[in-house]
Structure formats: C-alpha cells, structure tokens
Structure 1
Amino acid sequence: MAIEVIGKSNYTKQVLALIAKIYDNTVVADSVYEQAIQCFSGVELKQKQQIGLEQQVQLFESRLAQGSAKDSASFERQYQQAKAELKEFNQQLSEESFQRFSYLKQICITILQLTRGDSSDETLQLTAKMLGTIQLSSPTEGRNVALINQKSKHLYKAVLSLLLLDKLLFDNDISNEYILQRAKAKAGDYNDFDSYHPFRDDVQIPLLMAAILQDIGSCHPEVQKIIYGNDGKADPFRVMDNAERTSMLQVSYSQTLKYVTEQLEDSYQGNSKVERKTFIENSQQRKLFMQQLLKGAIKAESGIGNLLKIPQVYTSVVLSTKPNFVYETLPRVSLVLEKGVEKGVYSNTAVKSLLAITGIFPQGFGITYIPKDSDDQDLDRYEYAIVTGLYPKNLHEPACRMVTRNLTYNVSAQGCIVSVGNNLYYPTARKKLAVISQERLLEIFKLLVSNYEERKNMSLLPKCWHPDEYFSYVKNQNLWNRVVMHRN
C-alpha cells in the first residue's frame, strides 16, 4: 500500500511562492510589502539627502556666477562634482523605483501565465484552480488563520479582479473608454510578454498591480504604529475602535497613492526617441489608470473602482483576518455583498456579476451532501465534496469534485452539481437525515473524520467539512482536471 505524502505539489508550490513574493516576513525582506516597509522607512531621509544635494548644486552655481575669474576653475570643479553627485543620487532613486516596479510586474505576468488559457473554458478552469488552491492552503481553524489569510488575500483579490473585469466586459457593463479602447485594439500574441499587447499591458497588468497594492499604505510607519500600537505589541488583527480604524484607513489610502505615484517607475530600454516618447506616454496612462482604480474603490458607485472594491469585500470574508472567524460562515459572503447593495454602498451590477462567477460557495469550500442511488433516490448518508467550478448555473448549486464515495476517500471520484435539497448547508437537506439514528450518524462521522477524538463534539449533521487537512496530501491537490459531472 502506497504511503500518503503530506507536502506540496509543484503547482501548489508555485501558488505559495507567488503569495510569498507579494506578502511575507523573512530575513531577506524581498516581498512587495516588505520592500514597501523599507521604502517608506527611508523616504524622509532620502528626501533630505536630495534637498541637500540640490542646495549644494545651487550654492556652487551661485558662487561660479558671482566669483572672480581666478576662482572660477575651482568653483567649476565643485559645481560639476555637485551636479554629478545629485545625478548619481537621482539615478539610484530611479533604479530602486524601477526594481520595485519590475519585481511587481513579473508577479503580475506570472499570475496571467497561471490563470489565462487558450480558451475561455481553460481560463476559468485555471482561475478556479488558483483560487481553490489559495483557499485550501489556508487553515480553517486555529491560531494561524488570520496570519496566513493576511498573506494570501492580495493574490486572491487580484485574481478575482481579473475575473470581474472579464465578466463586466462580456456583458457590456463597462463604459470606461481607456479599458474599452484597449480591449478592442488590434493585438499581437498575448503570450509573448516581450512584445506589447494593449489589453494585457495597459489594463490587466495595471489592474493586478492596483489590486496587490491596494493596502500597501499600511506599510507606512505611521500606519504600522496604529496597527501594532506604540509599544509594537498590540494584536494587529484586533477589532479597532472607530477613531483608530478611520485614522489607519485615511493614512493608508493617502500613502498608497503616494507609493504608486512616486515609488514605482518603469524604465525605457532602448535608443529610439519616438519609442521612448510612446513608452513614457503609455507608462503615464497606466499609472493614471491605477490611480483611478484606487481612488474609485473608495466610492465605487458604478465606476471602475468596483473592479477592486467588490473583490476586496469578497476576499475580506472568505479569507477573513477577524478574531471571530468561523469557517462555515464563508458562504455568507453573498449576504454581505447583497446587504451592501441594499444600503447603496456597493454596485448592484458588480455584485451580481461577481456572484454569477463564484456562486454562493467559494472555491475550495468543503460541501457535505446527500448522494443519490442509481434510481435517483436519496441514500441514508452524506458524503464530502469540494467546490471546484466557477459560473454555476444556479448560484446555490455549486459545481464540485466528489472527495468521498461510499464513505471512503476516493481520489478518482467524479464531479457533481450539488442541489439545494441535498446540500447539508441548507436546513432542507439536514431535515432529510434527521430521521436517521444517532448510531448511524456516528458511524458515518467516524468513517469520514480522521481525528475523531478531537472532533467528537462536532455536529453529526455538519453544514460543511474542513478540507484543508485532506488537501495537505500531495495526491489530493489536483482537483481541477476534467471530470464527468453528475447532478446530485
């Protein structure tokens, strides 16, 4: 009998590496958010140095203009040296901005390479795989939930933003001329990242960047002080009072815009003046687009800010960092969004579009359901499945991969569309099994739950199950290959 191996498949490693490149806490400190902490902490000193060098240039320029002829040679040397020092300093700043930009851009390119297929169906499959892998790699309970979700949420939100963009464009629900012009523009090979592609380079990559950087202002020392307290020992995931939270959000927002505007800069590599001019114009337009996205996300209404705002709200629920996180409440994300629509704070169109993509149940969510026999009759048990499909035909009926069959874990299991009437998340299905004896339910429970002694106080009719332990085995990490789907 083969020994089951706990670990990471190559794909899971790729996704976790992406997460670490965006947000991590290491000695190397090379993630996007660690780079921002270093950048923010040194901004004031570098500004003083720059001002000092500029004043030095002005001083020697003035002396050269006013000095006597015999001193002119000396003043000229000092003037040229001061100019050289200022130029070198500014070049260093530009290089640092370019390095940060290039690092972030490569992350965005990798996201596109992992989620964009040769057809819309393949793109949805790859995107579901990315979202599901992020969710299933995150703990569903314990002390590390908030910490790991905090790291993962930026990538998850960015991928959702891409999906929402696709949906709104397909439904003609975007009126922004910048996006529409580039979506319709004549394009080259999408997969050739060395050549210009208007929609990919001017819309998708800036959107991914904006989604990843939406909270980058939280790295500013002033915000870090609020988050961790004056002594640096406060719980960063605590529930803040209104004054603290308002102050944190205001400073974070303003510093995010500053970071995008001042601390990230693409650089033209070439000798053509015409190409350089076009490159600079495109770079400026992309940066302006990112600023519009970030500003619009504060008061999205019906504008393009919804491309960030609605995925941000969705992600804040499914990858929650709140102390009172309860896994089984994840499907309530739809209620949170719909409530926001009722209050007039979220766009109805954007919310409907996102929920049409995700359905009620997030990717990777553990479904417990009542299976049917060959005569389409309900059986006297429940089984496990995992949500693996996007765009469910019915929002309440997720497309899943069966994980168990006949109360036995089965890697080669098929797919199923779980109906409301047989999904234990809903009271209707739980009532069906309420007539079954406690002994039978306990028997089912013992067969499905690995750590029975730790979980024996759980409900014998669970609304859902926690699939993160199942997903920790390498052989269980390819849930998105094509399978025959059955209706259950």
Structure 2
Amino acid sequence: MSSTLSDSQYTTSVQTLVKQIQNSSAKKDSLFELAALYFTSSDANARVLRTCQENLTSTKEYLKSVPEAKRAAAHNQVKKLQKELHDEKLKQLHKQQQCYKCIASICINVLKLTEGNNQQQTNTRSAKLLATLFMLSSTEGKNRKQMHQLYKPLYKAVLALRLLDKMLAEKKLSNNYIVTRFKPETRFSAVPNKYSQFQLDVAIPVIIAAITQDIGMQHVEIQRLLKGADGSIDEFRVLDKETRIPLLIMNHEQTQDFITNGIGISVYEGDDLEKKIRYEKKQNNRLKFVLGLLVDAVKPSEGSIGNIIKIPQIYSSFILSTKPEYHFQDLPKVITILNNSAKNGAICTNASQCFINLVGHFPLGFGIIYVQNSSPNEQLKDYFYGIVTRLNPQQPTIPTCRKITEKGEEGSEPKHFALKPENNLFYPSVQKKLENLTEETLAEIHEVHIEDLGDARLPSYVKGFWNPYRYFSIQKHQNLWS
C-alpha cells in the first residue's frame, strides 16, 4: 500500500477522512450523521415493520376461514401485504447497507493512510497521521473543543491499531480470535488495494470499535441531555455524576444497537448457498468481535481485549480534550493519568506499559525546545526547536524528534534525533544550562527563531515547549517525515 501523496494532498486526505467520520453537511452522509438519522427513525421503522407483519399475519388467519366467494380477494390481499413487508424490509436494509458501506470505506481509508508493507513503514505512517491530526487541531480559540471532538475518533482508532500490534509483538494478548489470525509474515499486505486476512478480520473491527465507541451520543435523548431541548446548553460542560453515569450507560447501549442494527453486516451478492453461509459466518464473527471489544472496554481486566480500545480512549480524551480548560504544557501528564488508571484497576498494567512505550511521554506533534550535546566545560550558545515525530521512542522519556531550526548547521547531523532528558528544556533543571547567556543574547536568539519559523508568538526556551499549530499550517512546513 504505497503512498504518493504530496504534503498538501496528504493533509487534505486526512481532513476528508475526518469529515467522512463526523461532519455537519446538507447531504448528512458522514457516519455520525447517519447514526443520528438511524436513532431518529429506528423506533418508527420498527413500528412500520411490526404493523406490516401483524397485518399480514391477521390476513393469513382470515384466509383460513374466509367464505369461498371472498377467497380470491383475500389471496390478493395477502400477496399485497407480502409485497409491502418485503419492500419495507428492502428499504430498511438499503439504509443499513448505506451505513455499512460508509464505515467500510472509512476503515479502508484508515488502512491506506496508516499501514504499509511492514511494521516499520506502518509505524512511520501512523506517526505521521497522529502528529498531523494533533497539529491541525487548534489548541486555541473558541472552536478548540469542537475541533478536538471531530478529530478524536480517528486519532483513537490509529492508536488502537498500533497498540494492538505492540501487544501482539510483545505477546501480551491471549484472545483466541486475534492470536489464531495473527502471523507476522502475513500481518500486512504487499499488494496495493488488497488487504490481508488479519486486516479484514481483526484490524478493521478494531477501527470500527474505536471510531464508534461514543457514537451512541448521537441519540436524540442524549443530545437533549447534553444540549438542552433548544440546543442552548454547552454540551462540553463538566457533568455531575448523577447525569454522567446514566449518560455513559445510555451511550454504550445505543452504540451497540447502532452497530448491530444500524450497520449490521454486508449482504452477500451471489447465488452460491455454501459461499453465502461462509461469508455471513465471517461477517457475524467480525461483528461479534466488535461488540466484544466495546463491552470489554467498559472495565477491561488484566489481559483482556478491551484495553486495546480503553487505553487510547483515556489518552485521546486528554490530548484532544473537550474540557473547558486546556493547557498545552500539561499534555505530558497524560502518562501519570495512565499509570494511575492502571494502579486503580481501570486498565491493564501490562497493556498500559505497552502503550506508554509506544507513544512516550510527549505526544506526536508536540513542540519541544532543546539544547545540543555539549562537554561539561563547554558554554552553550543557543537552543533549538523540534517536533516529536516518531512512535516507539528508545525510552518513554526520550522522544524521537525532527529538527525545525538549525541555524546554519543543516546537514551536520541527521534531521531526526533522539532527545535525551538532559537536553530537553521542558525540564526546568536543563534551563540552567543557558544561565550564562545575557538577556540581550537570549533576546537576539529568540528573534532569529521567530524569523526562521514565521511565528511572532513563538515562546522562548523558558517555557520549555512550543505549539506547532501555526507553523504546521504553512504547507511547506508539513514535510516532517522525509
């Protein structure tokens, strides 16, 4: 699955995929919009089917004792009602298949953007997508919460895929459905637009579970609870326990309903009965696996598959937070939250450690400020800006970064490097290495960096971090993985 997208095309493809998942459009054809339509009409659709069935049943009963003179008319009525029932089932099946085709298309697009011919290529592509989502999502302004909510399902799905691979590589998964389908040599497909059995049977259900985990929130009753009857209430407000717990239960129930009845399984197209039975068995096994992931993610036990979804959910809810307060410098604290969740039994300790080793302490796309290696007696004369760009760092505290400012030293060192804690100005103790520089010199250095990066609001080294949002919004700055 090779990729030849330019930087601008890639960014556009990511934004298109986000809109395919969740959007606000006249067509109402994104997955979350289709879910909202399903929730609005599901009760009425069930009533229509029930009425059609009851009418048919009663007319058939009438036919058993109808006088001979009226038998022909009754027969015709049965045929008419049979056609009405058949047509209604086809109509509702068509709507269901629209949802199925929508999520199937989303899953294929996720695989195209995140998975390659091998694990290394896959990790690079996934890191690119995760960092792109992070840097495209504004952390400032009034639209921050809405944007984070839009980007979160895709962000979570990619993290779930890579955690799945990490746990398999470290033999931390024992689920029979997964391990019997996993062989390292056939995990990925080397053929463009063709997918391995593992991708079809395991990876795609994981994507579906991660993306749809909160899709039950589109239910009309939940939306009324969140926004009020007239839509005037802030849906992102902090909810009290008495409201939040029932809402989460309702979301879980409605999500399962939408996956089972709103999406369902793909319809077999063909006349071979044996192939149809095998096809539907595979489809039902995948559906059962999706539902199992979601049920198990409510409170995953040690070694259970729910961790694959639950841990990325906790992580993405912090990194792409929709809470009223959001502080960029607090993002590395998400590791503490994961550790505490593991201690409290909310997630599996082994799975949590796998995930921390996967993402490290600093999120992909996070802007770091650093000093270069120096001998003990050498006085530092500068500091530099970089962006975290890789998964699976050497150690969680040593992110792999891309140099952004080099100040005439281009080509002297690789563009990607492992940043050791003793060079990372995020830690206040490292800032002491620049104490000998005068205020005037530091101001001059800062002005040069502002000019290089084209960001007048660029923080100085004393902040210990920077936000690449404005930098990454310029097309020529988006090629960070070359």
Taking structure 2 as the reference length, the TM-score comes to: 0.92
Aligned ranges for residues 206-355 of structure 1 at < 5 Å?
206-265=205-264, 266-302=266-302, 303-355=304-356
1:440 Cα deviation after fit: 2.5
Per-residue CA deviation, residues 303-342 of structure 1 (Å, 9 max, x unaligned), is: 0000100011111111111110111111111111011112
Whether the 8 Å contact between 2:329 and 2:465 is mirrored in structure 1 is: yes
Per-residue CA deviation, residues 8-55 of structure 1 (Å, 9 max, x unaligned), is: 710111111111100111222211111101110111111111111111
Amino acid of the structure 1 residue aligned with 2:108: I
Bigger shift: 195-204 or 165-174?
195-204
Whether the 8 Å contact between 1:18 and 1:107 is mirrored in structure 2 is: yes
Bigger shift: 154-163 or 341-350?
341-350
1:79 Cα deviation after fit: 0.7
Distance in 1, matches of 2:242 and 2:409, equals 52
Tell me the equivalent position of 1:484. Answer: none
Distance in 2, matches of 1:435 and 1:196, equals 58
Bigger shift: 415-424 or 33-42?
415-424
Tell me the equivalent position of 2:110. Answer: 111
Distance in 2, matches of 1:380 and 1:194, equals 51
Whether the 8 Å contact between 1:370 and 1:378 is mirrored in structure 2 is: no
Per-residue CA deviation, residues 63-112 of structure 1 (Å, 9 max, x unaligned), is: 21120111011001111100101011011111211121111011111111
Aligned ranges for residues 44-83 of structure 1 at < 5 Å?
44-83=43-82
Per-residue CA deviation, residues 364-393 of structure 1 (Å, 9 max, x unaligned), is: 110111134699956232211000111111
Distance in 2, matches of 1:177 and 1:408, equals 53
Distance in 2, matches of 1:16 and 1:478, equals 16
Distance in 1, matches of 2:274 and 2:193, equals 19
Shift in CA distance, 326/336, structure 1 to aligned 2, threshold 3 Å: same
| Secondary structure in 1 matching 2:466 | coil
Distance in 2, matches of 1:8 and 1:143, equals 27
Runs of 5+ in structure 1 lacking a partner?
Answer: 1-6, 482-488
Amino acid of the structure 2 residue aligned with 1:291: L
| Secondary structure in 1 matching 2:182 | helix
Q: Is residue 158 from structure 1 mapped to residue 118 from structure 2 by the alignment? A: no
Bigger shift: 371-380 or 81-90?
371-380
Distance in 1, matches of 2:448 and 2:26, equals 44
1:188 Cα deviation after fit: 10
Shift in CA distance, 223/192, structure 1 to aligned 2, threshold 3 Å: farther
Whether the 8 Å contact between 2:133 and 2:151 is mirrored in structure 1 is: yes
Shift in CA distance, 442/188, structure 1 to aligned 2, threshold 3 Å: closer
Aligned ranges for residues 195-210 of structure 1 at < 5 Å?
197-210=196-209
Shift in CA distance, 356/287, structure 1 to aligned 2, threshold 3 Å: same
Tell me the equivalent position of 2:3. Answer: none
Distance in 1, matches of 2:358 and 2:329, equals 20
Amino acid of the structure 1 residue aligned with 2:255: T
Shift in CA distance, 189/305, structure 1 to aligned 2, threshold 3 Å: closer
Distance in 2, matches of 1:196 and 1:415, equals 31
| Secondary structure in 1 matching 2:391 | coil
Q: Is residue 446 from structure 1 mapped to residue 447 from structure 2 by the alignment? A: yes
Q: Is residue 19 from structure 1 mapped to residue 11 from structure 2 by the alignment? A: no
1:405 Cα deviation after fit: 1.4
Tell me the equivalent position of 1:396. Answer: 397
| Secondary structure in 2 matching 1:9 | helix
Whether the 8 Å contact between 2:116 and 2:125 is mirrored in structure 1 is: yes
Distance in 2, matches of 1:19 and 1:155, equals 7
1:455 Cα deviation after fit: 4.2
Shift in CA distance, 53/128, structure 1 to aligned 2, threshold 3 Å: same
1:359 Cα deviation after fit: 0.8
Distance in 2, matches of 1:41 and 1:378, equals 67
Whether the 8 Å contact between 1:8 and 1:472 is mirrored in structure 2 is: no
Bigger shift: 305-314 or 229-238?
229-238
1:401 Cα deviation after fit: 0.6
Per-residue CA deviation, residues 102-147 of structure 1 (Å, 9 max, x unaligned), is: 1101111111111111122111111111111111111122212111
Tell me the equivalent position of 1:4. Answer: none
Shift in CA distance, 462/350, structure 1 to aligned 2, threshold 3 Å: same
Amino acid of the structure 1 residue aligned with 2:432: K
Whether the 8 Å contact between 1:423 and 1:429 is mirrored in structure 2 is: yes
Whether the 8 Å contact between 2:39 and 2:219 is mirrored in structure 1 is: yes
Shift in CA distance, 184/8, structure 1 to aligned 2, threshold 3 Å: closer
Q: RMSD of the alignment, in Å?
A: 2.5
Amino acid of the structure 1 residue aligned with 2:363: P
Whether the 8 Å contact between 2:454 and 2:471 is mirrored in structure 1 is: no
1:454 Cα deviation after fit: 7.3
Number of matched pairs: 473
Distance in 1, matches of 2:78 and 2:184, equals 50
Distance in 2, matches of 1:394 and 1:71, equals 84
Distance in 1, matches of 2:234 and 2:432, equals 41
Whether the 8 Å contact between 2:383 and 2:461 is mirrored in structure 1 is: no
Amino acid of the structure 2 residue aligned with 1:80: K
Whether the 8 Å contact between 1:366 and 1:386 is mirrored in structure 2 is: yes
Whether the 8 Å contact between 1:357 and 1:390 is mirrored in structure 2 is: yes
Distance in 1, matches of 2:379 and 2:241, equals 50
Bigger shift: 92-101 or 215-224?
92-101
Amino acid of the structure 2 residue aligned with 1:29: K
| Secondary structure in 1 matching 2:462 | coil
Q: State the identity %.
A: 33
Distance in 2, matches of 1:173 and 1:235, equals 41
Tell me the equivalent position of 2:119. Answer: 120
Bigger shift: 141-150 or 412-421?
412-421
Tell me the equivalent position of 1:469. Answer: 470
Per-residue CA deviation, residues 145-204 of structure 1 (Å, 9 max, x unaligned), is: 111110001001000110011011111111110111111499698366887743111111
| Secondary structure in 1 matching 2:263 | coil
| Secondary structure in 1 matching 2:139 | coil
